[in-house]
């Protein structure tokens, strides 16, 4: 048991058993023992015992860690039963709790021990049930029957061997407990009549249940088969209904219907339920009414005349619209009516009848929406119905301003959406008018309207309605309104933002900007703008700059930004406005777009793909190109001239040369560019440029400016024509991964496309020493350089291989970099841009080779060691 | 048809339920049946939080995508709660006197991998059963508690275990359910489950008729003002016998039984004459016997006019009401309420009778008294109220924005109050004892008890206002006169 469980237990003990204080322990067994001990104590009062039992039931899952604990709990509860036979409520609770604890424990403990407990408990319950007509324990027997119902529900057909006995007891029982007996019998009968229909037992396992012989019928199978073929049992169950509570009636009648439905022999007996129908049809009890509708649904044709159908409908309509019934009940009745009319709506008469549902001016929003859905459903495909439904929507709309909460607004947009989904002939102008009215009457409807517009766009992409609504809203809200509060202004800006995000016309944009400048950014209102509202408005400006051609509204936008700069008192808002203003003034529209990134869109690959936008950057999700490394890096253009004067001077001079030479600092790689397979059919990419990004610590990479990149060139020319130079300026010779993106123009629209990352490996840094001289000089230079950097970082590697293999390895990997060669070995000198070295000496022996290497950059050691991994 | 858990939650400012009961054996069945699709019940706190958002008790003034999404299936009173473990469905909710009664049901008919919410309510027996169970629970709480703080958890557990042991409703009438545990039986006659405890003593039957009148009065409507007259008949009885039956005659039910709905205990509904209906029913200690609704169009018992005009910061109010002749002129309560969306700083009333008070700084209550002048049956109120704008801080503003809020106040105050103060309607609240407006009647002489000839019979009645709105004359027409007309047209076209 974890701490939190322990604390919960303590909390609940305090709540349920105020007098019970467990000893200070976190051992669950101890707590359980104390609880059980307290339960069997004679002096404990019945209410205290009841509380302890409630608590045991609630926490049994935690308290019972072993099957032994469950057994202990059940035995204790049985003891309580035996010792308090006078207290029916306590006894009943013991049975309910022990059954619950046992069934709950089935999840944890399955097996022989559980089966034994299960058998004992079921037999105990049957023992009680068997005492039919005992006047002393009516309630306990009723609870026992209920407990057996729960057992039968958990393990269908498990009580089947006792069917005869239960039937006999039910017939015999005269006390109020007969309802539970009949309920148990009806369930067992239903399970027996169509066993395959009623699911599997708990955890798909039946416990081994051994009944006491007295519970089994003398000739069980015969009775059961006679029950199947005998409609008298159904009649018996029907006869019991007048003696039952409505809840009992629902349970038993439901099972009778189930039995009749699943047993073809019994189906003909459905007429026995007709009196039941007439006795219940005027009821307002929705559980019973549900049952009548279920009866009509499954046996309507056999059982009901037209008159009965009409009676049922009339009462259903009354229930739907009865002012004395609460909303929840009316809503359920409307749902039932909807289902009923869905089956019966071919009868026009029915539809005329539902007129009475209409005329209720007292309906709340929920009921109005339910009725709307109902009408939308039954009037489908009828001329003029969309107009009628729009009128209902208008009625809902009118209530928005009188009801402050979310409900009317939510119901309004849901009704409109349902209308658009169900009817194609809805007048868009009228919908737009209603939306604008709703918004102007209560501006807080805006978020609902924005959601509605987006939902319509998603579900009906071709619909002109969203644009129509947004245009109307923009037209409305760009009119001067001297009573507009700042809170309302926030909603108005939301509407503008939505309009601007949805390809607003240039006139619309201009009118928004003019409105902002003339009516919002004038004097006192601008001064009182909050930080958040100011930024909201600037976000709108930013969006316009990013997504639209600013040349069309340059003057208006400049005015707005200047308005912020000169009149707004919030420094942060002012700064942001200043920044936008500078960008707007100093950059061309094209450059402005390059600075402010465009939205993500996928390039359609169909031939007829057209781009209507003149202003957008299109961003592709999939790489259109990929880069390939052509060969090793190229060496520096500049070289140090070796002149023998002074050895010491040579190295210093060399270092100075390296320091001064820009050519030696860069890493030059050759790359080729190829179109991805998916985009092979593209004709031409214009103004192609490849941009690479590295981490700031690594260094910089210059973009590769390709220019026009045509497919015909690609097919004719081979790689050389399309090999490009990539120039990097690393800080250190360290491998890295570069982020790559391509920018190009296609059909006069600029595209941005991220490409696969490009790896620069350690080997790519290898360059020939930038020194020019003959072999002898090179050998001297190597020795001098070795001596100079020897003190910095050096290492030795032993290659466990033959001499031949070792020589082949060196030739293959480092041939270009060998600066000296003799019988004993090779000297390899490698220059690593931007100014480091790796010098290696190979000493060959017959079965092994020693490699000594020095470097002036420590991390090179680890990367070099990795080169010899194959000999490790 | 089983309930997994039942909750009682205060409808406002609650973080945890005041009562909660889980049914572990139902939970085990649910878990076993749905396997990997089983959705665990969240903690009580989490459940309340999710329910409040879903039903709009929390965030009820803003748009919540999960709740207000246009595409979301509308299934009230069954709700879907999106928990960390999956979608909990169906969660049934009813509200009664500031308490929310809520239950999670286990619908055995669900297919194992059925999408939440894809099954229609009309196919779910558990929903209707659960609604009745919650209704019974609310009645029990009503009967045995005076305030939500005093709810006795253990007493409720006792009721729940009697009314729906194992989450299965067996008897939801509180007076029967609680008697059941003390039932005893002696005799050779079958004892019905609805009468588990035999009454011994002098039989008595008390009927109580409560009639509610709802009305909307709007001068601009072309048609008659909408009015609803409905009532509830409650029967409280202590009757001898194992299986007694009571017969009662309801008179002045215009258009006969068309507007009549009865309790399930009613065994027969019999038409006697054009306006009389006889009911035979099994008496239960206390129960709503029937609900009626008048279909005949009645004129409103009180006709009123309301006019409010705001000039600058002064509201000029005129309220007139007139009692229909024939209506009993004796009220237990007669008030007119005029709510305003601003503060009332001063009021200068001039009423023909009664007194005018200001409640909660923003509502005028005209207490008219118990009787209107017998000659005119009219009362008039003229009042001038000085108003001040209420400023609600924008949810968007933060504390650091207080400077700007102050600025906003200055601007808004500069706007004319006449544009911002809107009172669309006033309400009339009345209650008349020993009177029903519709004329609906139960004659005690015709109450017959099958098991006893000597019975104390009595009938009490009262009439009260429900929604009784008087729209401001300056407000647009709120009553849709054309709806029915339009509907007729659709039917004619087809």
H or E element, residue A63: helix A46-63
> Is residue A872's pLDDT more than 80?
no
Within the 20-39 window of chain B, which residues sit less than 8 Å (CB to CB) from chain A? Answer: 22-25, 27-29, 31-33
Q: Report yes or no: B85 at the A interface, CB cutoff 8 Å.
A: no
Of the partner residues B170, B404, B479, the one whose CB lies closest to the CB of residue A361: B479
Q: Looking at the 3D structure of chain B, how many domains does it have?
A: 3
Distance from CA of B352 to the nearest CA of A (A): 30
Measured CA to CA, the distance from residue A245 to residue A426 in angstroms comes to 50
Q: Assess contact for B260 and A325: CB atoms under 8 A.
A: no
Per CB-CB distance under 8 Å, the chain B contacts of A339 are 120, 122-123
Same domain (yes/no): B412, B463: no
Give the pLDDT confidence score for residue A100 in this predicted structure: 95
Of the partner residues A146, A247, A402, the one whose CB lies closest to the CB of residue B166: A146
Same domain (yes/no): B351, B443: no
Same domain (yes/no): B428, B445: no
Best of A486, A524, A570 to mutate (most B CBs within 10 Å, chain B): A486
Best of A256, A328, A383, A481 to mutate (most B CBs within 10 Å, chain B): A328
Burial class (CB in 10 A: 0-12, 13-18, 19+), A599: exposed
State CA A215 to chain mean position distance. 53
**Each residue of B225-254: pLDDT tens digit?**
888 899 999 999 999 888 899 999 998 776
Distance from CA of B374 to the nearest CA of A (A): 32
Quick check: A318 and B293 CB within 8 A?
A: yes
State CA A709 to chain mean position distance. 43
Of the partner residues A286, A294, A351, the one whose CB lies closest to the CB of residue B491: A351
Q: Assess contact for A839 and A853: CB atoms under 8 A.
A: yes
Same domain (yes/no): B379, B313: yes
Q: How many CA atoms lie within 13 A of A829 on its CB side?
A: 19
DSSP-derived 3-state class of residue A755 = strand
Is B265 part of any domain?
yes
The answer to whether the peptide bond before residue A834 is cis (omega within 30 degrees of 0) is: yes
Per CB-CB distance under 8 Å, the chain A contacts of B196 are 138, 176
- For residue B292, give the CATH number of its domain: 2.60.40.1170
Give the pLDDT mean for A571-597. 84
Same domain (yes/no): B70, B144: yes
The DSSP code sequence of A303-359 is H--HHHHHHHHHHHHHHHT-TTS-HHHHHHHHHHHHHHHHHHTT-HHHHHHTHHHH-
Q: Report yes or no: A554 at the B interface, CB cutoff 8 Å.
A: no
- How many cross-chain Cβ pairs, A to B, lie less than 8 Å apart? 391
Is B187 part of any domain?
no
Chain B nearest-CA residue for A384? B490
Give the pLDDT mean for B407-432. 67
Measured CA to CA, the distance from residue B215 to residue B428 in angstroms comes to 10
Nearest to A289 by CA among B479, B349, B408, B261: B261
Q: Report yes or no: A352 at the B interface, CB cutoff 8 Å.
A: yes
Within the 34-73 window of chain A, which residues sit less than 8 Å (CB to CB) from chain B? Answer: 47, 50-51, 54, 57-58, 60-61
Quick check: B76 and A153 CB within 8 A?
A: no
Is B193 part of any domain?
no
Same domain (yes/no): B424, B345: yes
Quick check: A487 and B96 CB within 8 A?
A: no
Quick check: A175 and B127 CB within 8 A?
A: no
Quick check: B68 and A410 CB within 8 A?
A: yes
Best of B232, B244, B490 to mutate (most A CBs within 10 Å, chain A): B490
Is B126 part of any domain?
yes
Of the partner residues A136, A174, A401, the one whose CB lies closest to the CB of residue B188: A174
The total number of residues written for chain B in this structure: 494
Of the partner residues A335, A392, A528, the one whose CB lies closest to the CB of residue B122: A335
Question: Which residue's structure tokens are 């324990």?
Answer: A137
Nearest to A205 by CA among B109, B38, B32: B32
Give the pLDDT confidence score for residue A332 in this predicted structure: 93
Confidence category of residue A601, pLDDT binned at 50, 70, 90: very low
**Each residue of A70-95: pLDDT tens digit?**
999 999 998 888 887 678 888 899 99
**Could you count the other beta carbons within 10 Å of the beta carbon of residue A107?**
15
Give the pLDDT confidence score for residue B473 in this predicted structure: 85
Nearest to A68 by CA among A40, A92, A32: A32
Residue B279's domain comprises 204-299+437-493
Distance from CA of A700 to the nearest CA of B (A): 43
Quick check: B63 and A409 CB within 8 A?
A: yes
**Domain termination site, one of B145, B180, B215:** B180
Of the partner residues B28, B76, B293, the one whose CB lies closest to the CB of residue A331: B76
Give the pLDDT mean for A231-250. 89
Give the pLDDT mean for A364-382. 85
Measured CA to CA, the distance from residue B261 to residue A675 in angstroms comes to 77
Within the 688-727 window of chain A, which residues sit less than 8 Å (CB to CB) from chain B? Answer: none
Chain B nearest-CA residue for A329? B131
Torsion sign (Cα): B96, B102, B107, B112: positive
Same domain (yes/no): B333, B420: yes
Same domain (yes/no): B428, B441: no
> Is residue B494's pLDDT more than 80?
no
Q: Report yes or no: B141 at the A interface, CB cutoff 8 Å.
A: no
Measured CA to CA, the distance from residue A459 to residue A461 in angstroms comes to 6
Give the pLDDT confidence score for residue A356 in this predicted structure: 67
Same domain (yes/no): B372, B312: yes
Give the pLDDT confidence score for residue B463 in this predicted structure: 96
Within the 608-667 window of chain A, which residues sit less than 8 Å (CB to CB) from chain B? Answer: none
What residues contact residue B175 under an 8 Å CB cut-off, 6+ apart?
A: B143, B284, B285, B286, B287
Per CB-CB distance under 8 Å, the chain B contacts of A326 are 94-96
Distance from CA of B400 to the nearest CA of A (A): 9
Measured CA to CA, the distance from residue A155 to residue B241 in angstroms comes to 40
Same domain (yes/no): B58, B172: yes
> Is residue A16's pLDDT more than 90?
no
Quick check: B70 and A417 CB within 8 A?
A: yes
Q: Report yes or no: A149 at the B interface, CB cutoff 8 Å.
A: yes
**Each residue of B57-91: pLDDT tens digit?**
887 788 888 889 998 888 888 998 989 888 898 89
List the B314-323 sheet strands across, edge first: B302-311, B314-323, B378-389, B342-351
Confidence category of residue A55, pLDDT binned at 50, 70, 90: confident
**Could you count the other beta carbons within 10 Å of the beta carbon of residue A794?**
14
Per CB-CB distance under 8 Å, the chain A contacts of B467 are 362
**Each residue of B443-471: pLDDT tens digit?**
998 899 988 888 899 999 999 999 999 98
Is B375 part of any domain?
yes
Same domain (yes/no): B110, B70: yes
> Is residue B113's pLDDT more than 60?
no
Confidence category of residue A123, pLDDT binned at 50, 70, 90: very high
Best of A148, A206, A282 to mutate (most B CBs within 10 Å, chain B): A282
Quick check: B77 and A328 CB within 8 A?
A: yes
Distance from CA of A238 to the nearest CA of B (A): 14
Measured CA to CA, the distance from residue A54 to residue A32 in angstroms comes to 14
Same domain (yes/no): B130, B65: yes
Distance from CA of A656 to the nearest CA of B (A): 60
Q: What are phi and psi of A34, to 5 degrees?
A: -60, -40
Is B68 part of any domain?
yes
Give the pLDDT mean for A775-793. 83
Give the pLDDT confidence score for residue A300 in this predicted structure: 83
Asked if this assembly's ipTM is beyond 0.85, the reply is yes
Quick check: B59 and A406 CB within 8 A?
A: yes
Give the pLDDT confidence score for residue A43 in this predicted structure: 66
Give the pLDDT confidence score for residue A411 in this predicted structure: 93
Confidence category of residue A574, pLDDT binned at 50, 70, 90: confident
DSSP-derived 3-state class of residue A756 = strand
**Could you count the other beta carbons within 10 Å of the beta carbon of residue A713?**
12
Q: For chain B, give me the number of helices (H) and strands (E)?
A: 9, 23
Mean residue pLDDT across chain B: 84
- For residue B29, give the CATH number of its domain: 3.30.450.60
**Domain termination site, one of B148, B165, B180:** B180
Best of A290, A431, A441, A482 to mutate (most B CBs within 10 Å, chain B): A290
Q: Report yes or no: B70 at the A interface, CB cutoff 8 Å.
A: yes
Is B399 part of any domain?
no
Q: Assess contact for B137 and A247: CB atoms under 8 A.
A: no
Give the pLDDT mean for B122-130. 86
Measured CA to CA, the distance from residue A820 to residue A809 in angstroms comes to 16
Q: Does pTM surpass 0.80?
A: no
Chain B nearest-CA residue for A483? B415
Rg over alpha carbons for chain A, rounded to the nearest Å, is: 44
Q: What are phi and psi of A146, to 5 degrees?
A: -60, -40
Q: Assess contact for A685 and A749: CB atoms under 8 A.
A: no
Give the pLDDT confidence score for residue A349 in this predicted structure: 61
Burial class (CB in 10 A: 0-12, 13-18, 19+), A602: exposed
Quick check: B191 and A175 CB within 8 A?
A: yes
**Could you count the other beta carbons within 10 Å of the beta carbon of residue B207?**
21
DSSP-derived 3-state class of residue B401 = helix
B178-191 burial, b for 16+ CB within 10 Å, e for fewer? bbbbebbbeeeebb
Give the pLDDT confidence score for residue B279 in this predicted structure: 93
Measured CA to CA, the distance from residue A488 to residue A396 in angstroms comes to 22
Phi-psi region at B209: left, alpha or beta (left = phi > 0; alpha = psi -120 to 50) = beta
Q: Report yes or no: B341 at the A interface, CB cutoff 8 Å.
A: no
Quick check: B24 and A61 CB within 8 A?
A: yes
Measured CA to CA, the distance from residue B72 to residue A189 in angstroms comes to 40
Angle at A654 between CA A652 and CA A659, to 5 degrees: 95
Mean residue pLDDT across chain A: 82
Measured CA to CA, the distance from residue A36 to residue A74 in angstroms comes to 10
Q: Assess contact for A80 and A40: CB atoms under 8 A.
A: yes
The DSSP code sequence of A224-260 is HHHHHH-THHHHHHHHHGGGS-HHHHHHHHHHHHHHH
> Is residue A604's pLDDT more than 60?
no
The total number of residues written for chain A in this structure: 872
Is B199 part of any domain?
no
Give the pLDDT confidence score for residue B252 in this predicted structure: 77
Measured CA to CA, the distance from residue A834 to residue A668 in angstroms comes to 11
């Amino acid at each position: 048991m974890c701490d939190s469980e322990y604390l919960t237990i303590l909390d609940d003990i305090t709540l349920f058993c105020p007098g019970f204080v467990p000893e200070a322990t976190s051992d669950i067994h101890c707590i359980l023992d104390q609880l059980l001990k307290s339960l069997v104590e004679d002096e404990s009062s019945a209410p205290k015992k009841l509380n302890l039992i409630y608590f045991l039931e609630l926490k049994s899952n935690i308290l019972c860690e072993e099957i032994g604990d469950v057994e202990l709990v059940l035995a204790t509860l049985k003891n309580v039963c035996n010792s308090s036979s006078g207290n029916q409520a306590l006894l009943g609770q013991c049975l309910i709790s022990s059954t619950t604890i046992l069934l709950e424990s089935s999840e944890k403990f399955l097996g022989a021990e559980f089966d034994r407990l299960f058998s004992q408990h079921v037999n105990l319950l049957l023992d009680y049930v068997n005492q039919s007509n005992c006047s002393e324990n009516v309630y306990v027997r009723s609870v026992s029957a209920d407990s057996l119902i729960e057992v039968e529900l958990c393990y269908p057909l498990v009580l089947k061997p006792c069917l005869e006995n239960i039937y006999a007891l039910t017939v015999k029982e005269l006390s109020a407990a007969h309802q539970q007996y009949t309920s148990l019998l009806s369930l067992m009968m239903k399970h027996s009549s169509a066993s395959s229909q009623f699911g599997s037992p708990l955890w798909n396992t039946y416990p081994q249940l051994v009944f006491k012989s007295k519970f089994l019928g003398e000739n069980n199978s015969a009775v059961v088969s006679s029950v199947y073929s005998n409609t008298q049992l159904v009649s018996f169950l029907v006869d019991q209904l007048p003696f039952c509570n409505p809840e009992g009636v629902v349970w038993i009648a439901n099972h009778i219907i189930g039995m009749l439905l699943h047993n073809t022999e019994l189906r003909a007996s459905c007429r026995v339920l007709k009196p039941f129908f007439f006795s219940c049809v005027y009821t307002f009890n929705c559980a019973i009414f549900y049952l009548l509708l279920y009866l009509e649904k499954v046996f309507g044709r056999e059982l009901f005349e037209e008159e009965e159908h009409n009676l049922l409908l009339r009462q259903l309509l009354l229930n739907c619209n009865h002012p004395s019934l609460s909303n929840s009940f009316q809503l359920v009745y409307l749902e039932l009516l909807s289902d009923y009319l869905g089956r019966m709506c071919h009868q026009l008469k029915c539809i005329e009848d539902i007129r009475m549902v209409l005329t209720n001016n007292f309906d709340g929003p929920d009921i109005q929406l339910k009725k709307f859905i109902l009408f939308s459903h039954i009037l489908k495909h009828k001329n003029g119905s969309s107009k009628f439904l729009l009128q209902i929507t208008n009625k809902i709309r009118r209530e928005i301003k009188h009801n402050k909460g979310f409900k009317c607004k939510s119901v309004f947009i849901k009704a409109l959406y349902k209308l658009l989904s169900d009817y194609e002939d809805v007048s868009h102008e009228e919908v737009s008018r209603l939306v604008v009215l709703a918004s102007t009457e209560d501006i807080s409807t805006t978020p609902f309207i924005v959601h509605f517009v987006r939902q319509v766009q998603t579900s009906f992409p071709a619909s002109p309605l969203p644009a129509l609504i947004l245009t109307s809203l923009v037209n409305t809200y760009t009119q001067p309104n001297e009573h507009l509060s700042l809170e309302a202004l926030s909603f108005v800006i939301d509407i503008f933002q939505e309009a601007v995000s949805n390809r607003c016309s240039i006139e619309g944009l201009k009118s928004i900007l003019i409105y902002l400048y003339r009516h919002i950014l004038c004097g006192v209102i601008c001064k009182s703008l909050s930080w958040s509202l100011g930024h909201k408005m600037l976000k709108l400006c930013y969006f316009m700059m990013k997504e639209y051609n600013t040349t069309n509204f340059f003057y208006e936008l400049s005015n707005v930004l200047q308005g912020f700069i000169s009149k707004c008192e919030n420094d942060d808002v002012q700064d942001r406005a200043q920044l936008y203003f500078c960008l707007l003034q100093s950059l061309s529209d094209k450059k402005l777009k390059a600075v402010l990134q465009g939205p993500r869109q996928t390039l359609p690959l169909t031939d007829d793909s057209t781009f209507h936008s003149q202003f957008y950057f299109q961003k592709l999700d999939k790489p259109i190109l990929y880069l390939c490394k052509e060969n090793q890096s190229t060496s520096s253009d500049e070289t140090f001239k070796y002149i023998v004067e002074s050895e010491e001077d040579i190295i210093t001079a060399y270092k100075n040369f390296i320091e001064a030479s820009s050519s030696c600092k860069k890493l030059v790689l050759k790359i080729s560019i190829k179109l991805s397979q998916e985009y092979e059919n593209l004709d031409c990419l214009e103004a192609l440029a490849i941009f690479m990004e590295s981490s700031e610590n690594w260094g910089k990479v210059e973009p590769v400016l390709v220019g026009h990149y045509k497919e015909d060139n690609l097919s004719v020319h081979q790689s050389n024509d399309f090999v490009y130079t990539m120039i990097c300026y690393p800080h250190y010779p360290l491998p890295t991964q570069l982020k790559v993106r391509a920018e190009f123009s296609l059909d006069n629209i600029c595209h941005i496309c991220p490409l696969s990352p490009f790896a620069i490996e350690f080997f790519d840094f290898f360059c020939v020493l930038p020194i020019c001289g003959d072999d002898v000089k090179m050998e001297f230079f190597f020795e001098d350089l070795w001596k100079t950097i020897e003190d910095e970082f050096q290492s030795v590697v032993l290659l466990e291989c033959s001499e031949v293999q070792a020589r082949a390895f060196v030739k293959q990997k480092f041939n270009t970099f060998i600066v000296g060669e003799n019988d004993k070995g090779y000297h390899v000198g490698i220059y690593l841009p931007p100014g480091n070295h790796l010098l290696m000496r190979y000493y060959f022996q017959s079965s092994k080779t020693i490699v000594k290497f020095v470097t002036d950059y420590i991390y090179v050691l680890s990367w070099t060691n990795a080169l010899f991994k194959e000999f490790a | 048809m089983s309930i997994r858990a039942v909750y009682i939650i205060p409808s406002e400012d609650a973080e945890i339920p005041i009562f909660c009961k889980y049914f572990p054996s139902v939970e085990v069945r649910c878990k076993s049946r749905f396997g990997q699709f089983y959705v665990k019940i969240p903690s009580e706190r989490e459940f309340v939080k999710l329910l409040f958002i879903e039903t709009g008790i929390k965030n009820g003034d803003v748009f919540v995508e999960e709740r207000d999404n246009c595409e979301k299936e509308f299934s009230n009173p069954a709700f879907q709660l999106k928990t960390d473990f999956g979608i909990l469905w169906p969660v049934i909710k009813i509200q009664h006197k500031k308490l929310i009664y809520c239950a999670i049901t286990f619908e055995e008919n669900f297919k194992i991998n059925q999408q939440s919410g894809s099954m229609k309510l009309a196919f779910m027996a558990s929903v209707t059963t659960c609604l009745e169970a919650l209704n019974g629970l609310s009645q029990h709480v009503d009967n045995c508690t005076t305030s939500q703080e005093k709810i006795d958890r253990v007493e409720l557990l006792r009721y729940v275990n009697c009314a729906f042991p194992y989450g299965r409703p067996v008897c939801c009438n509180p007076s029967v359910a609680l008697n059941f545990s003390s039932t005893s039986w002696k005799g050779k006659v079958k004892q019905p489950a609805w009468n588990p405890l035999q009454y011994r003593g002098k039989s008595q039957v008390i009927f109580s008729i409560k009639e509610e009148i709802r009305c909307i009065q709007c001068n601009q409507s072309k048609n008659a003002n909408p009015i609803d007259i409905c009532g509830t008949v409650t029967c409280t009885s202590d009757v001898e016998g194992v299986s007694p039956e009571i017969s009662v005659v309801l008179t002045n039910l215009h258009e006969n039984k068309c507007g009549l709905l009865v309790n399930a205990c009613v065994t027969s509904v019999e038409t006697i004459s054009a306006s009389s209906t006889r009911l035979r029913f099994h008496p239960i200690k206390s129960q709503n016997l029937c609900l009626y609704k008048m279909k005949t169009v009645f004129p409103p018992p009180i006709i009123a006019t309301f006019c409010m005009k705001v000039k600058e910061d002064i509201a000029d109010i005129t309220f007139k009401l007139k009692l229909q002749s024939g209506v009993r002129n004796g009220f237990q309560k007669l008030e007119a309420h005029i709510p305003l969306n601003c503060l009332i700083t001063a009021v200068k009333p001039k009423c023909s009778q009664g007194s005018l008070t200001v409640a909660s700084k923003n509502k005028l209550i005209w207490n008219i008294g118990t009787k209107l002048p017998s000659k005119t049956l009219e009362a008039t109120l003229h009042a001038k109220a000085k108003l001040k704008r209420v400023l609600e801080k924008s949810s968007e503003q933060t504390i650091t924005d207080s400077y700007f809020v102050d600025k906003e106040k200055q601007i808004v105050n500069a706007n004319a109050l006449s544009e911002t103060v809107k009172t669309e309607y006033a309400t009339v609240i009345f209650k008349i004892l020993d009177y029903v407006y519709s004329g609906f009647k139960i004659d005690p002489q015709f109450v017959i008890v099958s098991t006893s000839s000597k019975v104390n019979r009595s009938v009490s009645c009262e009439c009260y206002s429900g929604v009784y709105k008087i729209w401001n004359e300056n407000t647009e027409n709120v009553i849709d006169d054309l709806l029915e007309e339009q509907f007729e047209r659709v039917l004619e076209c087809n």
